[in-house]
Structure 1
């Protein structure tokens, strides 16, 4: 049985506001640490955020917190291979819901190729992400099928993404989804300094209970995060 910290909230609005405040505090702390005179490493902070429908209010709330956003690199946990400003693109969600208000000066690291074809530039995109690792604060979602980012059970490309030597980003093609995706790999996610898992609804709570039981990661990819060596907290509201 996997043991992980869990925070329950009375409603979704409270969850989104409180999680945003916590993430803002952790970004400030990471920034302060990296700007101490004795710190010789990378001085920027990396925030990974999910796409989809659930995290929009969290991103709205986070955008209002004052911190050194000009020193924050924002990356998506995954991206659909659609035009950059498509309504299905996580980049569009992040730009419209997070990169505004106080967070307008944050730097967004997008995964889209300048042209039509991804493969010729995939290594360049991977390097772009690798320069921002490790992730200081990662916020992940989870589906009722126990996927996280675009690590879908049974998806072509999943084994590569779960491998210990996986590159930062892996292309996967989930059978039930209309397009291929790029996803942060298991090593990139598990290397985060802190992970928050944002879930809502009874179906996802039931899925979490299943994922917390012992079993193969390939059957419940959210276990990549649940078993990470860093502090991990599940944030839940019905």
Structure 2
């Protein structure tokens, strides 16, 4: 784990966007396509806006949300909607794989999503967020389905249900996240910095982010 500290959140945003664009550019110089996984929540929105201005061959990039709330794709809490609104609708011509399927429940939907994303793995670049409970993507401590999602032979996408989440969710599993060529974690605030330090001494079952710390580049600002 490498931690890069930034003087403010604007500098943090620019550094994360720079790392993503640089990493994607390297992949696209070596192969035809790249796969980028992005988180939900409000923290990465400025990064999405910065990425939208980057001179990159976005039509050769496929974007996969790191997780998804089981809500319609036009719902205010949909991660796919967030990515479309703040990145694709800003002129980025990337493809987006939506993990949600309105015709299916989360269990069947996760299986269908696994089939959709399988051909785009491994991830080229992964951006993660983390909660103060040390969850990442929708890998929540104590969640129903966590053990299956942490297993080495886990399917690419699995359903997760947690008492701390408002809706059922589906998530990219730990093997998929660990398989990313480049992985970045973006966190803000002293509470999350303290949580990250605690996670270093815990198991992935206790702190799911711990399963990814060895290869992460962390970007942090107060």
TM over 0.5, shorter chain: yes
Write the distance in 1 (CA, Å) between the matches of 2:99 and 2:18.
Answer: 27
1:178-214 alpha-carbon deviations (Å, 9 max, x no partner): 110000000000000010000000110110110122x
Q: 1:218 to 1:119 in 2, by over 3 A?
A: closer
For residue 30 of structure 1, the aligned residue among 23, 27, 42 is 27
1:20 aligned to 17, 20, 34, which one?
17
Q: Which runs of 5+ in 2 are unaligned?
A: none
Shift of 1:116: 5.1
Contact residue 37 and residue 125 of structure 2 kept, 8 A: yes
Alignment partners' CA distance in 1, 2:24 and 2:110: 28
Tell me which residue corresponds to 1:217.
204
| Structure 1 residue 154: Cα displacement | 0.2
Residues 120 and 204 from structure 1, CA distance in 2 versus in 1: closer, same or farther, beyond 3 angstroms?
closer
CA distance in 2, matches of 1:219, 1:118: 24
2:134 is the counterpart of 1:143: no
The TM-score, its normalising length taken from structure 2, stands at: 0.96
Question: What is the CA distance between 1:18 and its match in structure 2?
Answer: 1.7
Residue matched to 2:160: 172
Structure 1: distance between partners of 2:212 and 2:46: 22
Count of residue pairs brought into register by the alignment: 222
Residues in 2 aligned to 1:201 and 1:136: alpha-carbon distance in whole angstroms: 28
Match of 2:77 in 1: 88
**Distance (Å, rounded) in 2 between the aligned partners of 1:100 and 1:10:** 30
- Matched residue, 2:119: 131
Contact 2:110 2:158 in 1 (8 A): no
Is 1:6 the counterpart of 2:3? The answer is: yes
- Per the alignment, in what secondary structure is the counterpart of residue 92 of structure 1? helix
The offset of 1:124, in angstroms, is 2.5
Divergent runs of 4+, >3 A: 116-122
* SS of residue paired to 1:219: coil
185-194 vs 120-129, which moves further:
120-129
CA distance in 1, matches of 2:159, 2:106: 10
Shift of 1:232: 1.9
Contact 2:35 2:121 in 1 (8 A): yes
Larger radius of gyration: 1
Q: Does 1:66 align with 2:55?
A: yes
On the 8 A contact 1:65/1:102 being kept in 2, the answer is: no
How far apart are 1:112 and its partner, in Å? 1.4
Report the Cα distance in structure 2 between the residues aligned to 1:102 and 1:67, rounded to whole angstroms. 11
SS at match of 1:111: coil
Aligned-CA RMSD value: 1.2
User: 1: distance between equivalents of 2:168 and 2:151?
Assistant: 19
